């Protein structure tokens, strides 16, 4: 490396105290945002109404359905993109409150059985 290239590289890689503080503040803000997202998910999943809402979201995302539409690759791709968002939500639930996922599934199953009994009368 030439002297000019070396000094340019050194100048570009030098991080001043202001830049270091900005990076630390941004990293702290990202960490706080992630913690808030987890706290919000835990709050939502702690209440039966929140679990019913999340269940409806997962159903709307098509998490429990096939994405493939025979002969229609565009529609299949759309369905898979929607399903992927639901899988991300489910992954977060499984990571942070797996017992609530099981509880939500049991509640939904019980509700669906009650609905099918009432509609058959």
**What is the rounded CA–CA span in Å between residue 30 and residue 80?**
29
Tokens of 59: 């159903």
**pTM score, whole prediction:** 0.73
pLDDT of residue 40: 98
Residue 49: CB atoms within 10 Å: 8
CB 41 within 8 A of CB 96: yes
Give yes or no for residue 43 having a pLDDT over 70: yes
> Which DSSP category does 114 fall into?
H
Averaged pLDDT for residues 93-117: 92
Give yes or no for residue 107 having a pLDDT over 80: yes
């Amino acid at each position: 490396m030439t002297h000019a290239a070396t000094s340019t590289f050194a100048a570009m890689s030098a991080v001043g105290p202001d830049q270091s503080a900005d990076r630390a503040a941004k990293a702290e803000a990202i960490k706080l945002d992630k913690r808030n997202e987890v706290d919000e998910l835990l709050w939502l999943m702690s209440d039966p109404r929140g679990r019913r809402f999340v269940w409806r979201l997962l159903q709307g995302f098509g998490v429990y359905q096939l994405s493939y539409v025979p002969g229609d690759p565009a529609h299949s791709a759309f369905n898979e993109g929607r399903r992927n968002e639901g899988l991300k939500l489910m992954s977060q639930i499984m990571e942070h409150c797996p017992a609530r996922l099981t509880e939500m599934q049991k509640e939904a199953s019980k509700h669906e059985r009650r609905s099918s009994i009432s509609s058959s009368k």
